[in-house]
Amino acid sequence: MTDLCRWEFPTLPKYKFTPATTSANAAPVIAYTRPSIRYGPRPRRTMQHHDHVLTLACPDRTGIVYRVSGLLFELGCNILDAQQFGDEETGRFFLRVHFAAPALLTADRIHDEIASLGEEFAMDWQLHDARRRARLLVLVSRQGHCLNDLLFRSHSRQLPVDIAAIASNHADFAALAHSFQVPFHHLPVDADTRDAQEQRVLDLIERERIDLVVLARYMQILSPRLCAALNGRAINIHHSFLPSFKGAKPYHQAHARGVKIIGATAHYVTSDLDEGPIIEQDVARVDHAMTPRELIRLGSDTESLVLARAVRRHVEHRILLNGHRTVVFR
């Protein structure tokens, strides 16, 4: 068996002992001479692997995990992580498998083998390159805290994404985008220009090969046409704990009702306003003495955190749709 990691050392000479005395009656002093050691090059792996993520949903039945894991074993793959969920209400089974494939095993070969298994089990499945960084388009209006947070996390490699472009109906954050060397597109919109503006958004998505569109406090309602085009690949952050306080000014709505917690919700975009499948939520405690302005300030931190979590779950392929709900593997 070939060693995967090998250090090569030269033959080491023995330490030399040199007696020395300072006087006739003094005890001898031993001087140690340490030989120089030259180390060989750093070890290199003799084999390289390519990581993939397989996600699937299908009618629940016995043998699914056995057959999937058996197929990967036969292909010489190593399962790094696996998570599963069986929904008793819908009778659906969900599985996410992160595995390493040998370098000589092509993605096309894996795809063909899984396709054959998928037909047998009526699977809705996808195979992803686990090391590919997703390309994002961020849509924003005049609240920039979520945008700024995503830019920082991307720039510092805390999120495995590349923000390919920023688009806004206002020019407020052009300088911020420039500071991170991200192209900024000012796309103003009104009732008369909405169709043309949304077409420019679609053109930008195609041109920049966008994987995910993030509505980071983009205060425009998308048309059904645009929602359909972005089905399953657009995430919105809403500044309330949905399904409470949908629509405009949710913090003011929450204050008027005297709530004791406020929240934020990240969900997939659908043509039904603020009703898409929920991905991530969190809350913050408030009290009777806080004004709507203070709720907004406190809630902005929660919004940024919730949106970043949702984006991470999506680009790591941890979300599967289950009707109007989501299965989110942590």
Report which of residues 189 and 45 the model is more confident about. 189
pLDDT in tens, 195-206: 999 999 999 999
Residue with tokens 């985008």: 177
Residue 263's contacts (CB-CB under 8 Å, 6 or more residues apart) are 240, 241, 244, 281, 282, 283, 284, 299, 302
Task: Give me the pLDDT at residue 54, please.
Answer: 98
Tell me if residue 253 falls in helix, strand or coil: helix
Start-to-end CA distance of the chain, whole Å, equals 37
Task: Give me the pLDDT at residue 296, please.
Answer: 95
Share of the chain above pLDDT 90, in %: 84
pLDDT in tens, 226-251: 999 999 999 999 999 999 999 899 99
Task: Give me the pLDDT at residue 12, please.
Answer: 47
pLDDT in tens, 290-330: 999 999 999 999 999 999 999 999 999 999 999 999 999 99
What is the residue-wise DSSP string for 36-99? P----PPP--S--EEEEEEEEEEE--TTHHHHHHHHHHHTT-EEEEEEEEEETTTTEEEEEEEE
Q: Residue 38 pLDDT more than 70?
A: no
Contacts 24+ apart (CB under 8 A), 195-199: 195/223, 197/169, 198/222, 198/223, 198/225, 198/226
Tell me if residue 190 falls in helix, strand or coil: coil
Lowest mean pLDDT among 206-210, 271-275, 307-311: 271-275
Give ∠ CA 73-78-82 in degrees, rounded to 5.
100
The identity of residue 56, as a single letter, is L
pLDDT-based confidence at 10, cuts 50/70/90? very low
Rounded CA separation 258/244 (Å): 13
The domains found in the chain, sorted by start residue, are 49-129 (3.30.70.260), 134-328 (3.40.50.170)
Task: Give me the pLDDT at residue 36, please.
Answer: 45
> Which residues are tagged catalytic?
274
Task: Give me the pLDDT at residue 48, please.
Answer: 59
pLDDT in tens, 103-119: 999 999 999 999 999 99
Residue range 206-213: mean pLDDT, rounded: 98
Q: Residue 37 pLDDT more than 60?
A: no
